[in-house]
Amino acid sequence: MTRIALLTTALIAGLTTSSALAQTVIYTFSGKGSGDVAGQTFVRTDYTITLVGDISNREMNLPGVMRVVVDSATISIDGLLDEATFTPTLNVASNMNTDVLVLGNFDTNLALFVLDDPGFADYNLSAPFGPVTDGTPLATDQFLDIATSGGSVSMQSIVDVTFTATPTPGAVATLALAGVLATRRRR
C-alpha cells in the first residue's frame, strides 16, 4: 500500500469517530453589560457568552428562520463570574426574513437579545461568520433572572455586542476530506 493510501485510510478512520463527524460550531457573543449576578451589581462590564452547537441539529422552525438548540451555553463576566453554565436550554436563530440573529429560548419565547445586521439575511448558522458588531441590540429587556451555575444573571443594559461563529476542527476536517476526495475523483 502506498504512503498516500495509508495516510488517506488513517485520515478517514480518524474522521469517522462520532466526535470528529459532529459538525460543531462555536457561537460567541461578547460586549459590555450592566446588571447583576447573584446580587452583585456590575456596570458596563465586559462579558462573553459562548454556545456550542451541533449543526446537524439545525431546524427550520418557521419559513426563513433557522435555529440550533445548543449543546452547552456559558457566560463569563469580568471580575464577577468565571464561565458559569446557563441552566435553561438556549438557542441561536437566524431570521433570514428580517436580517436578525436571536439568542434566547424559543420554547418559552424568551429572547435575551437580538442582533441586527444585513449579513444575517443569508446566514444559516453552519458556516464561519463575523465578527459583526451591533452597538444597540434589541429585546434586552428580557435578560432578567436567567439561571446559571454561578447564580441568577440579569442585564438591564447591553451594548456593543460582537458575534462570531467558528466551526470546530472536526467540522473543518470533514470539509477538507470532502475536498481531497473530490480532487482525487477528478484525476
Give me the DSSP letters along 75-99. Answer: EEETTTEEEEEBSS--EEEEETTTT
Residue 100 neighbours by CB distance under 10 Å: 21
Positive or negative, the CA dihedral 30, 34, 35, 41 is positive
Model's pTM, two decimal places?
0.79
The dihedral region occupied by 145, where left means phi > 0, alpha psi between -120 and 50, and beta the remainder, is: left
Q: Residue 68 has what pLDDT?
A: 92
Taking only the tens of pLDDT, the chain with its 187 residues reads 444 443 344 334 444 444 445 699 999 999 999 999 999 999 999 999 999 999 988 998 789 999 998 999 999 999 999 999 999 889 999 999 999 999 998 878 889 999 999 999 999 999 999 999 999 999 878 899 999 999 999 999 999 999 999 998 764 455 455 555 444 444 5
- Alpha-carbon distance of 175 to 159, in angstroms, equals 35
